[in-house]
Amino acid sequence: MAGFAAVCVLLESEGLASWANHLEIGRLRTVAVPATAAVARALHPLGVFQLRDGTLDNLARVGWSDDAARVAAVNAPANHDGPVADGSTAKTLAKAPTPATLGANTPVVRDVPRVTSLTPLPPVEAGKTRVVALAGDSMMAVGLSSELMREAANDPRLRIVKAFRSGTGLARPEVFDWMTEYPAMLGAEKPDVVLVAIGANDGQGFVVDGKVLAFGSEGWSKVYQQRVADYLAMVGAGGARVVWVGLPPMRSASYDDKMAAINKVAYTVVSQSPRAVWWNPVSYVGDEAGRYREYSATGNVRLRQADGVHLSDEGAGLLTGALLKWLDPPAAASVVAATPGTAPVPTPAVAVAHKAKKRGRRPARG
Amino acid sequence: MLFPTVEYALFFLLVLAVAWSLARFPAWHKGFLLVASYVFYGFWNWTYLPLLFGISVFSALIAQRIQKSERDPRRWLTLGVAVCLAVLAFYKYMGFFLENLLVVWGRFGPPPRIGYHSPVLPLGVSFFVFHAISLMGDCYRGKVKEPVRMGDALLYVAFFPQLIAGPILRASRFLPQLAKPRDPRRIRVDRGLLLIAGGLFKKVIISNMLATRLVEPVFAVPQSYSGADVLLAVYGYAAQIYCDFSGYTDIAIGCALLLGYRFPANFRAPYTATDPQDFWRRWHISLSTWLRDYLYFPLGGSRLGSLRTYVNLMLTMLLGGLWHGAGWTFVVWGGLQGGYLVTHRLWSRVKWSPVLWLRRTQAWVWVSRLLLFHAVCVGWVFFRASSFGIAFQVFERLAVPGWATLATGPVVLVLILGLAGQYAPSRWRNSVEVEMGRWPTLARGAAFAGAITAIEVLGPTGVAPFIYFQF
């Protein structure tokens, strides 16, 4: 065991420091971060970390790595004005402007609107495709993205770009830095529209400048609001229209409270942006009072996964019906939808019936 | 707590050190392992500890009653099994049952409004319920000779290496191990280390890469891929689920071995099987033998004539499918497995001389392997697909011509390793074990650390949960 422990510490000191940094804010992290950092510092002169970094870079070069930012960094040309091959490539790309108008300093709203609408998009021009990026965490990865991609596969006017990753969020950039990863995930793609579903992992505290900010505290809200604003500015850079899909109600009451708080921050920021809209999914997957609902009103269509967090395919399908009609509106419909701020999207009840019919099931009643 | 995490590594090293330091005091040793197992389980969600404890205590009390009852032990067994299955049904199948009831109801009139929320499925509930049933069943059959002790029964149900995803231990084989003190000189340390390293390699590298780069994209949107990609994804899932699950059980068996306990083998190169019966002797062996002993045999097995044998096989596999998940795709998967077993039995009864000659040829062995592998793959499509629509799209897309865009070098490499690796002779691992046994202890530890580091570096940046956790 001694040999194992000694070699592990020698080879993995950087990895252990990284693991400690990734831990949830708490006692274990408080102890582990300085301890592993001290070990890593002590072993730094031996240069083992270079071996590790070199190996990871080589793995990225041969297509083994799944770390988009590292792949982008190692494949970037060495001599030019922009990205450089020291790992800062994506960071350089990601430094989009963050106008104060994006709501970073606006007081957080007390509540979010239950019913929201999508500002109409013009029809896709003949012979062209609308590039749609799907961004976010598992709220996008599970259910929603699959449904959107399946439906969009039948529409030659839409092209989907995947820019989501489960287990991520905006609360812990030291664990997963979206400001670095998103541009790397996009590569050369320039989306016209970005659909965002993110925040399910953000109900936790974080550390800023060595100070722990508890979830929901004033300091936490301020920093998180800024991060949402930065993220929104980044995904909207280049003129992309952004639809920020709000977090649906959750089964666990305490978790639902956290997600409601995150929705308020996101809504505050997004509603200040002229090219972004915060879209509440509650009228599709919540009950009449806007609470969590696992099954459709009649109980025969499951709307949520067994975890009580993510959307089932059927639940996601209710949202995608509306989103796809918005993304690729029929030419005539866009003229009909003359009311400002109102997209020609089906009502939730119509969407349930439509999706159930498509799946060969009886439409949910009521 | 997931196996391939630093948290588990630290937890296990601590448990290993303390457990062996207490080896001379069996009661303390077992008590410590029990506490460690509850810590392991509570690390995920402590609210389900009372459920685990309750099921364990209940099954132990019933087992004691069965052992003491001279008149009617069957009544106690029935009560015990019914309660255990009711717990499983409540957590796992209630939503599925209501959903389907309302679908049927809707065909005759407006169904009632039910505001039902499924409870959170406790991690590993299917496994610890099966352990509880095994405890009572083995006592009923007289396979547990010694009186059941409460502490041993609690540890048997909750022992952390097998708690979440098996292998499913038999009380009759595990309880005797708890009756004797552990002897560190009789531990095959190198075998344990090799199992852990091999299991991590299968899970962290092969399974995860196949999942994220091949299987998930295709099964999410089959219509976006050509037949070549879809075929590769189906093969990829066959390799992924094998590496994921056998990787987990290898780590579990290795960890138990280092603690001084022997678990049964759960996989024996299943894709080298030549017929469905052979496959089920190699795939998830602890489940297939559990279903055989506690379901198929009580139904009558093959003692009641051919037709009844086929019915029993179908019922066993259909319920086995449902055990894997509350969904009709799992039932279809189980039905296919039952159908394969029945078809094979019918085929085995053909005694026509050209067929007998054909069966004896080496070529037929390979034809059978290929046929069986593809039949198993058909079942995996239903097992993996989130709906029948997706499953049928996968089959439809197989006929669409086009290049395999997902066949990158790393993906093809791990796919070959995942499938062809099963043909590696077991003597290779034994040779490595023997060779390692000659090394100094320090060097063996260092080599193991090097292997773990290599797996960590080669692995993806986030490790997905094991597939079998959901069952």
Q: How many domains does chain B have?
A: 2
pLDDT value at A280 more than 90: yes
| Closest approach of A294 to chain B, Cα-based (Å) | 6
**Portion 347-366 of A in contact with B at CB < 8 A:** 359-362, 365-366
Q: Tell me if B455 is assigned to some domain.
A: no
Q: How many CB pairs under 8 A join A and B?
A: 132
- Confidence at residue B25, expressed as pLDDT on a 0 to 100 scale: 92
> Do B116 and A295 form a contact (C-beta atoms < 8 A)?
yes
The angle formed by the CA atoms of residues B325, B257 and B470, to the nearest 5 degrees, is 15
> Do B394 and B218 form a contact (C-beta atoms < 8 A)?
yes
Do B416 and B325 lie in a common domain? yes
Confidence of residue A357 (pLDDT cuts 50, 70, 90): very low
- Tell me the per-residue pLDDT of B397-453, one tens digit each, with 9 for 90 and over: 999 999 899 999 999 999 999 999 999 888 888 898 888 888 888 888 888 888 998
User: For B142-171, what is the mean pLDDT?
Assistant: 93
Q: Is B193 helix (H, G, I), strand (E, B) or coil?
A: helix
Do B83 and B125 lie in a common domain? yes
Contacts of B6 in chain A (CB under 8 A): 16, 19
- Confidence at residue A77, expressed as pLDDT on a 0 to 100 scale: 67
| Closest approach of A158 to chain B, Cα-based (Å) | 13
d(CA A51, CA A44): 11
- Comparing A18 with B469, which gets the higher pLDDT? A18
Do B172 and B288 lie in a common domain? no
A224's tokens: 């998180």
User: For A12-39, what is the mean pLDDT?
Assistant: 87
In this complex, the residue of A12, A19, A308 whose CB is nearest that of residue B453 is A12
The angle formed by the CA atoms of residues B463, B466 and B471, to the nearest 5 degrees, is 155
Q: Annotated catalytic sites of B, by residue?
A: 324
Do B250 and B150 lie in a common domain? no
Q: Looking at this protein, which amino acid is placed at residue A92?
A: T
Do B119 and B237 lie in a common domain? no
> Phi, psi (5° rounding) for residue B381?
-60, -45
Question: Mean pLDDT score of chain B, rounded to an integer?
Answer: 91
The length of chain A is 366
- Tell me the per-residue pLDDT of B343-364, one tens digit each, with 9 for 90 and over: 999 999 999 999 999 999 999 9
| Closest approach of B385 to chain A, Cα-based (Å) | 11
Contact B408 A63 (CB under 8 A): yes
Confidence of residue A93 (pLDDT cuts 50, 70, 90): very low
Surface-to-core class of residue A341, CB atoms within 10 Å of its CB (0-12 exposed, 13-18 middle, 19+ buried): exposed
- Confidence at residue A339, expressed as pLDDT on a 0 to 100 scale: 36
Q: Tell me if B366 is assigned to some domain.
A: yes
- Confidence at residue B11, expressed as pLDDT on a 0 to 100 scale: 94
Do B286 and B180 lie in a common domain? no
d(CA A238, CA A246): 23
Contact B410 A149 (CB under 8 A): no
Do B49 and B111 lie in a common domain? yes
Q: Tell me if B315 is assigned to some domain.
A: yes
Surface-to-core class of residue A36, CB atoms within 10 Å of its CB (0-12 exposed, 13-18 middle, 19+ buried): buried
- Confidence at residue A331, expressed as pLDDT on a 0 to 100 scale: 62
pLDDT value at B143 more than 50: yes
> Phi, psi (5° rounding) for residue A291?
-100, 175
Query: What count of other Cβ atoms lies within 10 Å of the Cβ of residue A321?
Result: 22
User: For B381-387, what is the mean pLDDT?
Assistant: 94
**Portion 123-182 of A in contact with B at CB < 8 A:** 145-146, 149-150, 153-154, 165-167
The angle formed by the CA atoms of residues A315, A317 and A322, to the nearest 5 degrees, is 115
| Closest approach of A284 to chain B, Cα-based (Å) | 16
d(CA A320, CA A247): 15
Q: A302 at the B interface (CB within 8 A)?
A: yes
Confidence of residue A345 (pLDDT cuts 50, 70, 90): very low
pLDDT value at A63 more than 90: no
Q: How far is CA B15 from CA A19, B19, B363, in A?
A: 21, 6, 51
- Confidence at residue A365, expressed as pLDDT on a 0 to 100 scale: 30
The position carrying tokens 């099964």 is: B219
Contact B449 A251 (CB under 8 A): no
B interface test, pick of A10, A65, A150, A320 with most B CB neighbours within 10 Å: A150
A interface test, pick of B39, B97, B116, B118 with most A CB neighbours within 10 Å: B118
Displacement of CA B462 from its chain's centroid (Å): 23
Q: Is A245 helix (H, G, I), strand (E, B) or coil?
A: strand
| Closest approach of A36 to chain B, Cα-based (Å) | 12
> Do B226 and B405 form a contact (C-beta atoms < 8 A)?
yes
Domains, chain A, ordered by start: 1-66 (no CATH), 129-358 (3.40.50.1110)
Among residues B150, B167, B186, which one ends one of the domains? B186
Q: Tell me if B368 is assigned to some domain.
A: yes
- Tell me the per-residue pLDDT of A102-128, one tens digit each, with 9 for 90 and over: 666 788 888 899 888 888 888 888 888
B295's tokens: 């379901």
Among residues B186, B203, B233, which one ends one of the domains? B186
Do B288 and B405 lie in a common domain? yes
Instruction: Return the CA Rg of chain B.
Output: 23
B interface test, pick of A1, A161, A358 with most B CB neighbours within 10 Å: A1
Do B162 and B206 lie in a common domain? no
Q: Tell me if B427 is assigned to some domain.
A: no
- Confidence at residue B443, expressed as pLDDT on a 0 to 100 scale: 86
Closest CA to A266 of A116, A109, A144: A109
Q: How large a percentage of chain A has pLDDT more than 70? A: 82
Contacts of B112 in chain A (CB under 8 A): 299
A212's tokens: 């722990």
Closest CA to B443 of B193, B187, B250, B185: B193
Task: Specify which residues A206 forms β-bridges with.
Answer: A213
Contact A300 B102 (CB under 8 A): yes
Confidence of residue A73 (pLDDT cuts 50, 70, 90): confident
Q: Tell me if B437 is assigned to some domain.
A: no
Chain A's closest residue to B216, CA to CA, is A146
Among residues B186, B201, B218, which one ends one of the domains? B186
Number of H helices, E strands in chain B: 23, 0
Chain A's closest residue to B213, CA to CA, is A66
Do B262 and B389 lie in a common domain? yes
Contact B221 A150 (CB under 8 A): yes
Surface-to-core class of residue A106, CB atoms within 10 Å of its CB (0-12 exposed, 13-18 middle, 19+ buried): middle
Chain B's closest residue to A53, CA to CA, is B457
- Confidence at residue B75, expressed as pLDDT on a 0 to 100 scale: 93
Do B319 and B381 lie in a common domain? yes
pLDDT value at B59 more than 70: yes
Do B402 and B269 lie in a common domain? yes
| Upstream peptide bond of B167 is cis (omega within 30 degrees of 0) | yes
Q: Tell me if B440 is assigned to some domain.
A: no
The angle formed by the CA atoms of residues A312, A231 and A94, to the nearest 5 degrees, is 120
The position carrying tokens 């003597």 is: B427
Q: What is the pTM of this model?
A: 0.86
Contact B445 A145 (CB under 8 A): no
ipTM field: 0.79
Contacts of B441 in chain A (CB under 8 A): 3
Q: Tell me if B471 is assigned to some domain.
A: no
What's the domain range around B175? Answer: 6-186
